Amino acid sequence: MKLRLHTSAYVLALATTALHLAVCHRFGYYRDELYFIDCAKHLAWGYVDQPPLAPFVTWLTAPLGYPVWGLRFLPAILSGVTVLYGCAIARELRGGAFAQALTGLTIVLAPGLIGIAYGLSTELLSPAAWTVLIYLTIRLVKTQDTRLYVPIALVVTVAMYAKYSIAACAFALVIGLLLTGHANLLRSRWLLFGVLLTALLVMPNALWQIRHGFPMLEVLHNDQLNRHALRNGMADESANRWINARYMFALQFMYQNPLFAPVWVWGLVWLWREKAYRYLTVAYLLLLGLLVASIGRGYYIQGFYPALFAAGAVAIEGALRARPLRLKIALLAATFVAGLPMFPLSLPILPLPRYMAYERAIGLSRPAPPDGKSHLVNPMFADQLGWKTMTQTVAGAYWSLPASQRRITAVFADRYAYAGALDYYGPRYGLPTVISPNNSYYLWGTRGYSGRSVLAVGATDYWLLLHWFGEVRQIAVYRNDYRWVLEGPLPVYLCTHPRVPLAAMWPAFKYYGL
């Protein structure tokens, strides 16, 4: 679909993609990417905790050796797509050059959107797909051409293979159209065709979930229960619905940059006042209500904000219509400057030592117990550090065992993050393929190990290990100051004298969730 946009839209789209590609490999893999590498080696129509698109994108990089930049190439490209379609929404809402430039700047500099585009995740399509979906519904309202339900169905389908949340967005938009005078658009046979098309195309993944007992529902339930603060005391989620709601509302401002709030809030109000587009305000509020009811995370509706930035930019352009050009240029410059302080927190444009100095300079990182040091506190960056040295620690414990015992020893990781890292880095240190009871690893089973000797990594299942093994002895521990904000020391236990075979105890360890 051809977009006729102002030059600034294309420049900003190219700039954000280029910048992501330039620095995306600075640190390393984060936990989900390591997990995707293992999932890519077990290609399927579905997984316990996700649809198959992210593992498939990872699989495409296998001939290159799964490089960090390769995994993050598509998210970087999609960051530019999000900018283009955000500006296209501004244009459809009668926005000119200023509105498109302001839309592009706010999308490029919004921390939440930067973070999603930084690494490969199940959210990789959310900003771009939600923005394209909203763009198509605006075209639908303007043209009354219900054949647009076909591309709408295709966008929803592709996005569903990345993350199911696009279905909530589509449903909210339908309810919004129904409640704001657009019911005639919902009585089209093209809508029925689009729904049937999507249902048919997502059927392979749906059948996988059905065949495995809808494990995704268990993942979501356990995810709601497993909410906790970081080690520095910062929290942005809670298992309590109303506490979580407060965090979630606050994050809507933090993820967009608090200084950009006037743009998207104005956009939300402007859309309500524009009768033709009031359905977008209704849809957004419905999604917020769904987040509260489901104890959702704040970034789950990040994909809606490019449209709100576009609407706000159009509203601001209208308010400045009679103002001199220099005022508009000054406002664009102020927007750029306002976005800079949070930019290094979302994308690793600074090397690690300089970034940690930046955290200290702005008061984000302060001396903390037990050592009184200033630690790295950015959890996204911290999660990309230390996986290789963790694997070396586990390998040292493994190779300390007698050869006869080593041959029967299973390396057991209690959570998918450690399993993914050990499977990726482990072969170079002589480690066998890991087993884990977490998420899809649980379905991949015990790989024939008897359980007579198990090297267990992680403390989460410690009490279960004590229950099922006659002897549980800590033989190593891994520490990494860079990971302090996420986790403390990581113990490694040697478990022997099982009370039953490993296959018999395996269901007791099963855990679907983070």
Query: Mind listing the pLDDT tens digit for each residue in 3-56?
Result: 789 999 999 999 999 999 999 999 999 999 999 999 999 999 999 999 999 999
Which among 400, 506, 398 is positioned nearest to 456, based on CA atoms? 398
Report residue 8: phi and psi, to 5°: -60, -35
Beta bridge partners of 453: 409, 496
b/e 473-484 (16+ beta carbons within 10 angstroms → b): eeebebebebbb
Using DSSP, state whether 300 is helix, strand or coil: helix
According to DSSP, residue 394 is labeled: H
The residues, ordered by sequence, that sit 6+ positions from 66 with a Cβ below 8 Å of its Cβ are 37, 40, 58, 424
Q: Omega into 262 within 30° of 0, i.e. cis? A: no
Q: Token digits for 224?
A: 């709601």
Q: Which sign does the torsion angle of CA 169, 173, 179, 180 carry?
A: positive
pTM score? 0.95
* pLDDT at 2 (0 to 100): 60
Query: In the prediction, which pLDDT does 240 show?
Result: 87
Distance CA 75, CA 441 (A): 25
Residue-wise pLDDT tens digits, 184-210 = 999 999 999 999 999 999 999 999 999
CB 241, CB 224: distance < 8 Å? no
Question: 189: exposed, middle or buried (C-beta count within 10 Å: 0-12, 13-18, 19+)?
Answer: exposed
The low-confidence residues of the chain, meaning pLDDT below 70, are 1-2, 370
Contacts of residue 145, defined as CB under 8 A and 6 or more positions apart, other chains included, come to 139
Q: Tell me if 117 sits within 8 A of 154, measured CB to CB.
A: no
